[in-house]
Amino acid sequence: MKSGDLAAGATLARRSTVRYGVLAMLVLASAVNLGDRANLSITGTAMSADLGISSVGLGYVFSAFAWAYVLAQLPAGWLIDRFDSIKVYGCSLVLWSLCTFAQGLLGSLSVAAALVVLFVLRFLLGLVESPVSPANSYIVAAWFPVRERGLATSIYNSAQYLAVVVFVPMMGLLVHKAGWPSVFYVMGVLGLLLAALWFRVMRSPLAHPRVNAAELDYLREGGANVQVDAKKRSTRPRVSLAMVGFFMRSRLMLGVYVGQYCLTSLQYFFITWFPIYLVKGRGMNIVEVGFLATLPAISGFVGGLVGGYLSDALLRKGLGLSVARKTPFVMGMLLASCLVCCNFVHSPYGVVALMSLAIFGKGLAAVNWAVVSDTSPPHLVGFAGGLFNLFGSLSGIVTPIVVGYAVSMTGSFTDALYFVAAHGLIGAFVYLFCIGKIQRLDQ
């Protein structure tokens, strides 16, 4: 072996791996984040019985989060681009945990007051959680080189499935044993404890005490935006219509936004109506649902890892960003459309199996978040992530309400499943035929 090879090997051995610890924190925070969004789907049946909420009313309550989430996305992206992304994320974690805890106090209110306060609290939850998705993209862009970014993105996106695997069975047992308010108390306290850990250990690459020069060099050479937080001291971006227009004039980005809308529709059905579908549409009890819902979640987690690995592997083989990002997305969305087959299956366990396949596909397609980092100018990653998530969150308004009306008008979930499954076909079509080459936009 040559001396140069030995030196390179020694350098590689000395390189720190702090970025993996950062990713682990993103996974934990994202899991709690998604758990706090999904808790209403587990408590919804018991809460609606106690508070007298109809299917249509529950649909609107489910959508309250998304209304706020949509309104706050661009300001949230601006916050991430202007201020320290780690601190913004931590403050968001504190505030959404307080909103979660407060939802447990509704049982002492009258029916009308409880419904109004619940809507307001879910709306506030959407406001304060809005920085999370653009901040995740921002932090991954700072801490991971391009060749590792697809898998890293898929891993933190897969936290939504980890949330279901870990928290949904726990929530089901809490509802059964201690009543629905206990779910909100436990999740709220858990979030506050995680916030304390976040502020203690999380830093940007240049400010982290445990990262060494070898890892920083590796990040820089691989295209990570390691200096982006430092540059904020001299550059203070402002939200403007020109910034929105810059992204909206791009056929590439419009197609990516439509794809995110379609993907998020599948997510919102899974975290809002799917447990209720198993209870009301398939006759399961809430404890069964709590455990069976983990199977699609595990499938989604595996799909996310497979999608990220596949994307990065295609990139390493020199096939280019377009092939590397489009392939898992299109495959995943086509698999997700298999959700419609639930209408033709009588066994509830067959339904869970089909949903597992669909959510595996959704996990494959989650690599689309890496496209934000791949295409955005480095100083606008936060804003671009906010705009991207805005379009996705629009489906969080539409999907729960449409499903609520469909169930109320027909007494079944048949039409609702056709509606949700169609999003998989639309998303695949857009990525195949509309967005063109994936490349960084110049401003």
Q: Give 10-residue mean pLDDT values along the chain (443 residues).
A: 45 75 90 84 77 72 79 78 85 93 81 81 89 83 83 77 77 85 92 94 86 88 73 55 78 88 86 78 73 80 86 86 90 93 86 89 84 75 75 82 85 88 93 86 69
Q: How far is CA 258 from CA 265, 387, 430, 435, in A?
A: 11, 12, 7, 10
Q: How far apart are CA 235 and CA 231, in angstroms?
A: 6
What's the pTM? 0.67
Q: Spell out the CATH class of 18-227+237-433.
A: mainly alpha
The residues, any chain, with a CB within 8 Å of residue 233's CB and separated by 6 or more, are: none
The residues, any chain, with a CB within 8 Å of residue 225's CB and separated by 6 or more, are: 141, 142, 378, 381
As a whole number of angstroms, the longest Cα–Cα distance in the chain is 78
pLDDT of residue 98: 95
Residue type, 10: A
pLDDT of residue 351: 85
226, 219 Cβ separation under 8 angstroms: yes
